Structure 1
Amino acid sequence: MSTQTAVPGVAPQAGATQDIVAPVQWRDPIVSAIMAVLTLVLAISSHGLSRVTFTGATSWFTMGEISVPAQPAGLVLTAAAAAATAVVWARAVRRQHVPGWLLGVTGVAFVAAFLLWTVADKTSAVLPVVSLLAGGLMFATPLVFGALSGVVCERSGVINIAIEGQLLFGAFLGAVVASVAGSAWWGLIGAPIAGMALAALLALFTIKYRADHIIIGVVLNMLALGVTSFLYSTVLKSNPGLNQTLSLNKIGIPVLKDIPVIGPVLFNQTILVYLMYAAVAVLQFMVFNSRWGLRMRASGEHPRAADTVGIAVNRIRWHNVLLGGALAGLGGAFFTINQGLAFSKDMAAGNGFIALAAMILGRWNPTGALAASLLFGFATNLGAVMQAVGADVPSQFLLMIPYLVTILAVAGFVGAVRAPAMEGKPYP
């Protein structure tokens, strides 16, 4: 049977079938248009000057404070967002792929317009660019480790809902080990061990005893919360020496740390942040370009086919769950020794679940998880900064931003995503 492409005004020949035309995907153009309109509204609402400071951006030369005309700058950002939106609509109508960077342009324009609007015509409010970006990276650090934990677990077929508990347990043992040893560096050893201990229970019940992954993950989260709360109220309260406020020192990389704006944000950080960079780079390569990564992905997608060629599926899953626990536990060290804080109850504060959303938003890809975590981290820090500069928006609404983004991501607003085919299913 022949196949023809439908031509307007010309009837198809008898016996021929028309090509199936995919429907237009309206999600991206609608989202882009909404952000462009909101950018315009913010631009029109802005008056006077917006003070922006680049203090601390570099030591090579002085980058102080500048005053930006809020409304003209907002209109320029609106024009950029409108241009990107027009391209998105044109490509969507032609049923072509819409590059993510086009949506990124409209998103950045909206955020920049919002920041300028926040401090517009306020003589006492100054927008600190460097601290805004650095704080976003700081808040993203535990999310990245948690999302990477989810990637290595779920790519091998095990759903890791227990990231929240692993972060919390890592924060606890990291603080205790550092306090006993008298050095925050030792906490970097204790934290991943704590995460692996909880991960071993996850692997035991899901892989060996074939229990439901979701239920076991929730139970382990409650276990970690209960155990750490009990030990905090009994052991740590009566022995303050086991819960000292030790912190990792920042390590500046010569030359790189003085690159304007980017340098102090990316290259004047603690060893934990540098370990995060390394973990993302190594996992991105290993997952898609190594025998280990191929076997891991085969165990999560086609375990029976992997078994037929001699791959020990359950052993692969055990190894990856333990590795995921170590990564999440290391992320937990952020809350204590990286921040210079003593351990307190429920320090993870839902970050494990946001990390799961970052993993989904990043499509089970290490670099995608990094980008999504940075988005959530920036949203978290945005509320704190806006509160500090006296924004007209109630701080409670600003602090809701990362959780709203999490809900939208999990609900599939960001588009259809496909999890590994056999995740959550026992084998054999």
Structure 2
Amino acid sequence: MLKALEGISKDERVGFKAPGIMGALGLLVLYFFGIAGREGEASFELSRKQDLVQIPALPIESATLGLISGILMLLIAGFALYRSAQNQPTPLWISTSFGFIGVVALLGWLAAGNTVPVVFIAGTALVLAVPIMLGAMAGVMSERSGITNIAIEGQLLTGAFMAAVVTSLTDSFTLGILSAMFTAALMSMVLAVFAIKFLAQQIIVGVVLNVLVIGITNFLYQQWLTEDGENVNFPGTLDIVKIPLLSDIPVLGPVFFENRITVFVALLIVPALWFVLFKTRLGLRARAVGEHPLAADTVGINVSRTRFWWVTIGGAIAGFGGAALTVGNAGAFGREMSGGFGFIALAVVILGRWHPISAALAALLFGFSIILRVWANQVSPGIPTDFITMVPYIVTIIAVVGFVGQSRPPKSLAIPYVKG
């Protein structure tokens, strides 16, 4: 009976937008990166000097790489077109492979005559994506249960502030991270109470919470942290942990298994949330509450309690993402240092179709864009950095229109439920 609550129709036409956009992007890559590409050889470095296993660099002409990439992307677009003609959706691995090939072509185009430090770019992109990824997990948890969480930005900022201050005062990373999660969870409780008990407009409550947190942290930063930064805003960063044997795997080892604990935990949270959400009765109840709360109530599910705890626990995860900004990366709190990551996390939730794995992959796109802007300015100073900065956002808009247009949010998202 509970499975019927999901109410997902299997008779919907898949449509041809996704293969159409894939084909257009493939043609653009083929022409601009291949036919009209830049002269010079791009060398892809797959190993660092300190790595135990050394892999020779892979040199290839930038224009040749663009041609090959464009042709492969057009072939994938053709396969997606075939599946659409059979009324079958484009699998996630197909879309991911398509995007990966496009990224390789972009890197080769930028690095014409230079080297591409693959491990450095991939590892840094992962670190920078962690706050967005965890904010997106909070968004997935909230919205799957029917509550719109616009306050992710404030939850990240709260977590970043508390982690930096508490760690500095107690000299304990554990207490700093726990305090970040606790305070962000309290903030989520406020959102949940107003949305569930008082039936307030959820978007307005989220915006107010964001503005409130920004104002409070800016005031404390100006009046307290800048005056006594050495004692209250100098937590440092967590040590980098190397997992034996796994960290020695070429390319993947340094990226995934030689990192700070915040990255490891984030990589565990994503599949764990997927498992709970789609493979357990607890997750099925949460999805039922987000889809058909009346039907869920009829079969004995406490709608209010379910929504309250999913929003609250999601806030704690976002708080951990905020801690990853300070003790997991920057080493100190900065004014409004979340920098819109919470709003990007909301876009990631939609781009990922309210699915933890897809949302995590989308978050990596933005982490990649941040490091790409810095790296591209070094290897190709003649290319405007504003152009590089726009790339992931343009891709996101295209993806939302072409790939996410057929998906839908939970049916009861942002709709208050009144029992009886």
Normalized against structure 2, the TM-score is what?
0.90
Pair member with larger Rg: 1
Verify: 1:74 aligned to 2:66, yes or no. yes
CA deviations on 1:222-243 (whole Å, 9 max, x unpaired) are 0110010011111212222111
Out of 34, 43, 48, the residue aligned to residue 43 of structure 1 is 34
AA partner of residue 308 (structure 2):
W
Question: Alpha-carbon deviation of 1:299?
Answer: 1.6
Verify: 1:351 aligned to 2:346, yes or no. no
* Paired residues of 1:57 and 1:261 also in contact (CA < 8 A): no
Question: Alpha-carbon deviation of 1:49?
Answer: 1.5
Give, in whole Å, the separation in 2 of the partners of 1:341 and 1:413: 37
* Paired residues of 1:118 and 1:392 also in contact (CA < 8 A): no
State the partner residue of 2:376.
Answer: 386
AA partner of residue 254 (structure 2):
P
State the partner residue of 2:77.
Answer: 85
* Paired residues of 1:384 and 1:399 also in contact (CA < 8 A): no
* Paired residues of 2:167 and 2:235 also in contact (CA < 8 A): no
Secondary structure of 1:339's counterpart equals helix
Question: Alpha-carbon deviation of 1:190?
Answer: 1.4
User: Gaps (5+ residues) in structure 1?
Assistant: 1-20
Verify: 1:278 aligned to 2:278, yes or no. no
Question: Alpha-carbon deviation of 1:367?
Answer: 1.3
Secondary structure of 1:50's counterpart equals strand
Give, in whole Å, the separation in 2 of the partners of 1:321 and 1:104: 29
Question: Alpha-carbon deviation of 1:155?
Answer: 1.3
Alpha carbon RMSD of aligned pairs, Å?
2.2
* Paired residues of 2:158 and 2:322 also in contact (CA < 8 A): yes
What is the number of residues matched between the two proteins? Answer: 405
Shift of the 355–57 alpha-carbon distance from structure 1 to 2, 3 Å rule, reads: farther
Verify: 1:169 aligned to 2:158, yes or no. yes
Verify: 1:131 aligned to 2:120, yes or no. yes
* Paired residues of 1:155 and 1:420 also in contact (CA < 8 A): yes
Question: Alpha-carbon deviation of 1:57?
Answer: 7.8
Which range is displaced more, 383-392 or 213-222? 383-392
* Paired residues of 1:74 and 1:113 also in contact (CA < 8 A): yes
Out of 209, 230, 238, the residue aligned to residue 219 of structure 2 is 230
* Paired residues of 2:163 and 2:176 also in contact (CA < 8 A): yes
Question: Alpha-carbon deviation of 1:350?
Answer: 0.6
Out of 216, 226, 243, the residue aligned to residue 205 of structure 2 is 216
* Paired residues of 1:58 and 1:259 also in contact (CA < 8 A): no
* Paired residues of 2:350 and 2:404 also in contact (CA < 8 A): no
Verify: 1:144 aligned to 2:126, yes or no. no
Secondary structure of 2:329's counterpart equals coil
Which range is displaced more, 56-65 or 162-171? 56-65
Give, in whole Å, the separation in 1 of the partners of 2:162 and 2:143: 25
Give, in whole Å, the separation in 2 of the partners of 1:255 and 1:54: 18
Shift of the 100–293 alpha-carbon distance from structure 1 to 2, 3 Å rule, reads: closer
Where relative contact order (Cα < 8 A, 6+ residues apart) is larger, the structure is 2
Which range is displaced more, 280-289 or 160-169? 280-289
Give, in whole Å, the separation in 2 of the partners of 1:151 and 1:70: 39
Give, in whole Å, the separation in 2 of the partners of 1:22 and 1:336: 45
Normalized against structure 1, the TM-score is what?
0.88
State the partner residue of 1:334.
Answer: 324
AA partner of residue 47 (structure 1):
E
State the partner residue of 2:194.
Answer: 205
Give, in whole Å, the separation in 2 of the partners of 1:177 and 1:202: 24
Give, in whole Å, the separation in 1 of the partners of 2:60 and 2:361: 29
Shift of the 55–155 alpha-carbon distance from structure 1 to 2, 3 Å rule, reads: same
Verify: 1:400 aligned to 2:400, yes or no. no
* Paired residues of 1:57 and 1:262 also in contact (CA < 8 A): no
Secondary structure of 1:127's counterpart equals strand
Give, in whole Å, the separation in 2 of the partners of 1:34 and 1:412: 11
Secondary structure of 1:336's counterpart equals helix
Question: Alpha-carbon deviation of 1:66?
Answer: 4.4
State the partner residue of 2:411.
Answer: 421
Percentage of identical aligned residues: 40
* Paired residues of 1:28 and 1:103 also in contact (CA < 8 A): no
Give, in whole Å, the separation in 2 of the partners of 1:95 and 1:407: 24
Secondary structure of 1:159's counterpart equals coil
Give, in whole Å, the separation in 2 of the partners of 1:86 and 1:323: 42
Give, in whole Å, the separation in 2 of the partners of 1:411 and 1:359: 14
State the partner residue of 1:11.
Answer: none
* Paired residues of 1:245 and 1:340 also in contact (CA < 8 A): no
